[in-house]
Amino acid sequence: MRVVVDASVVAASLVRPKGWTAAELRRTDVQWLTPSFLFDELSDHEVDLAHWAGCSQEEFRNRVSDLRRVLKTVSAASLVRSADDPLVRRAEEVDADDAAYFAAFVATKADYLWTRDRKILEAFPGIAVRIIPTSAASPTGGETGPRERNGQDR
Amino acid sequence: MATASKVTFEVPPELRAVMDRHPEVNWSAVFRQALLRHARTLEVAREIAAEEDDRRVAAVAEGLKAGAAERFRRARHARRR
């Protein structure tokens, strides 16, 4: 099962490394994905983000490093290639700042987008989820290899 | 070490009749499993709510989201040129 995670999920795991979100990201039945731009932001704005997260810069760097071990990044080139997909266009109409996550979703043929964004959760039921189901309940039953989605959600 | 404690439940007569028809079922275990599942769901909801109410999470998420979105816009724009 492939799942794209957005900034709200990444933020929760960085601020509360012992919390539920961080624990979920350690699940090995899921391939976790996120746009590469998110890690670019984490590197370039480490000082501010560490301050907002309420921890030292060193501690923040360690948390980001832990996150890098579980999150696979979707390259800028792949994201841009998927930018004109109808699903990405539709997401932009809901919130333009979420387009990159939908581009990652399309580029990787993911099963879900994990987010806490209420607008996105309401606008994209079946794609956007607040809790990741177990593999047995996922559309691909835990399959991790490339496959085509049936397209009914797009 | 904590020991298990006894809890008493009231069940409607129809349910009691079904339970009586199936003495081979360990109803205590069935109840325990159902309670455990529900308790886990409640705990997850509590933990999610705690994360969502954390202002630090919101601040980091906002900063990350805006920055990553801007990078995506610039990359798209660069491709179109």
- Report the run of H or E that residue A74 belongs to, with start and end: strand A71-74
pLDDT at B55: 93
Number of domains in chain B: 1
In a domain, B67, yes or no: yes
* SS3 (DSSP) at B11: coil
In a domain, B62, yes or no: yes
8 A C-beta contact, residue A134 and residue A1: no
Among B37, B51, B52, B55, pick the best mutation site for testing chain A contact (most A Cβ within 10 A): B51
Identity (one letter) of the amino acid at A73? T
To the nearest whole percent, how much of chain A has pLDDT over 90?
Answer: 85
Using the predicted structure, report yes or no on whether residue B64 has a pLDDT greater than 50: yes
Residue range(s) defining the domain that contains residue B61: 45-81
How far apart CA B69 and CA A96 sit, in angstroms, is 8
Task: Flag whether residue A24 sits within 8 Å of chain B, measured between CB atoms.
Answer: no
How far apart CA B58 and CA B79 sit, in angstroms, is 32
In a domain, B72, yes or no: yes
Longest dimension (CA), chain B: 76
Residues counted in chain A: 154
Indicate the pLDDT class of residue B3, thresholds 50, 70 and 90.
confident
Residues B17-55 pLDDT 10s: 999 999 999 999 999 999 999 999 999 999 999 999 999
Identity (one letter) of the amino acid at A86? P
* SS3 (DSSP) at A129: strand
Residues A34-84 pLDDT 10s: 999 999 999 999 999 999 999 999 999 999 999 999 999 999 999 999 999
In a domain, B74, yes or no: yes
Using the predicted structure, report yes or no on whether residue A120 has a pLDDT greater than 80: yes
pLDDT at B81: 67
pLDDT at A148: 38
How far apart CA A35 and CA A103 sit, in angstroms, is 8
In a domain, B71, yes or no: yes
Residues A3-27 pLDDT 10s: 999 999 999 999 999 999 999 999 9
Indicate the pLDDT class of residue A146, thresholds 50, 70 and 90.
very low
How many A/B residue pairs have CB atoms within 8 Å? 100
Using the predicted structure, report yes or no on whether residue A105 has a pLDDT greater than 90: yes
From chain A residues 38-97, the ones with a CB under 8 A of any chain B CB are 38, 40-42, 44-45, 48-49, 52-54, 76, 79-80, 83, 96-97
In a domain, B3, yes or no: no
Chain B residues contacting A via beta carbons under 8 Å: 44, 47-48, 50-52, 54, 56-69, 71-72, 75-76, 79
In a domain, B51, yes or no: yes
Q: What is the pTM of this model?
A: 0.82
Using the predicted structure, report yes or no on whether residue A151 has a pLDDT greater than 50: no
How far apart CA A133 and CA A27 sit, in angstroms, is 11
8 A C-beta contact, residue A51 and residue B63: no
The pair of three-digit structure tokens given for residue B45, joined into one six-digit string: 């909801």
The complex scores an ipTM of: 0.82
Work out the burial of residue A27: count CB atoms within 10 Å of its CB; fewer than 13 is exposed, 13-18 middle, 19 or more buried.
Answer: middle
Cα B43 from chain centre: 6
In a domain, B8, yes or no: no
Identity (one letter) of the amino acid at B53? D
